[in-house]
Amino acid sequence: MPQGETVEFWFDFSSPYAYFAHFHIEELAARHKRAVLWRPFLLGAAFQATGMQSLSKTPIRGDYALLDWERMARRESIPFQLPETHPAISVNPARAFYWLEESHPDAAIPFAKAVFRRCFADGRDISKAEAVIELGASCGVASETLQAALADQAVKDRFRARTDEAIARGVFGSPFFFIDGEPFWGSDRLAMMDDWMTRGGW
């Protein structure tokens, strides 16, 4: 697992701000000769540690967030459609991602991008196993194999361990990044991260 020259990209698949960030993070990392380490986690579990809750469930702030997402999408000409089920429980796609990372490494990142696209470009559900299996198939992964993986206790445990790791490292929002251990929270910190990598910190 590459842990040296990476940009760690921690996110919940049902986070609109992570969706916006995922369009930029690879180009940003590549510019600094780093790889992106994709790290889905369960934001709801982190919220329990801070007493926070989903933006969409927070009065007033939730209205602003919706305005802000639509504004960001228009600004960057990115499709954006909030699923009716938002915020979806992202356990299934995240379990599938970590299983793919180990068993079908070439498919893992294309799968992650396909999850984001289905959720926020198409505004469709990503929480159900059927959706995840369909997304896997679009990345060349046999449906029966992925279906079996989703039911595998070891696969479930691996995702739980990643979420525990996120919380232990102080991840409390999505997206959340680490560059050589330095934490950055939020899709609006990409310019600061760029500066951080250019200058080697400050």
Show the site string, 30-59: x = touches a second copy by CB under 8 A, - = not. -------------------xxxx-----xx
Q: Is 163 exposed, middle or buried (0-12, 13-18, 19+ CB in 10 A)?
A: buried
Least distance CB 174 / a second copy (angstroms): 13
Least distance CB 63 / a second copy (angstroms): 7
- Amino acid symbol at 198: T
In degrees and rounded to multiples of 5, residue 13 shows phi and psi of -60, -20
Does 200 participate in binding a second copy (rule CB under 8 A)? Answer: no
Does 192 participate in binding a second copy (rule CB under 8 A)? Answer: yes
Is residue 172 within 8 Å of 161, Cβ to Cβ? Answer: no
Dihedral sign from CA coordinates of 186, 116, 114, 169: positive
Least distance CB 52 / a second copy (angstroms): 7
Residues 172-191 that bind a second copy (CB under 8 A): 172-173, 183, 185-186, 188-189, 191
Nearest to 76 by CA among 124, 33, 120, 13: 120
CA distances from 111 to 33, 164, 165 (A): 23, 23, 22
Applying CB under 8 A, among 75, 105, 154, 181 the residue interacting with a second copy is 75
Lookup: tokens for 138 = 């679009």
Q: Which is nearer to a second copy, 24 or 156 (CB)?
A: 24
Q: What is the contact surface with a second copy in residues (CB under 8 A)? A: 49-52, 58-61, 63-64, 67-68, 71, 74-75, 170, 172-173, 183, 185-186, 188-189, 191-192, 195, 202
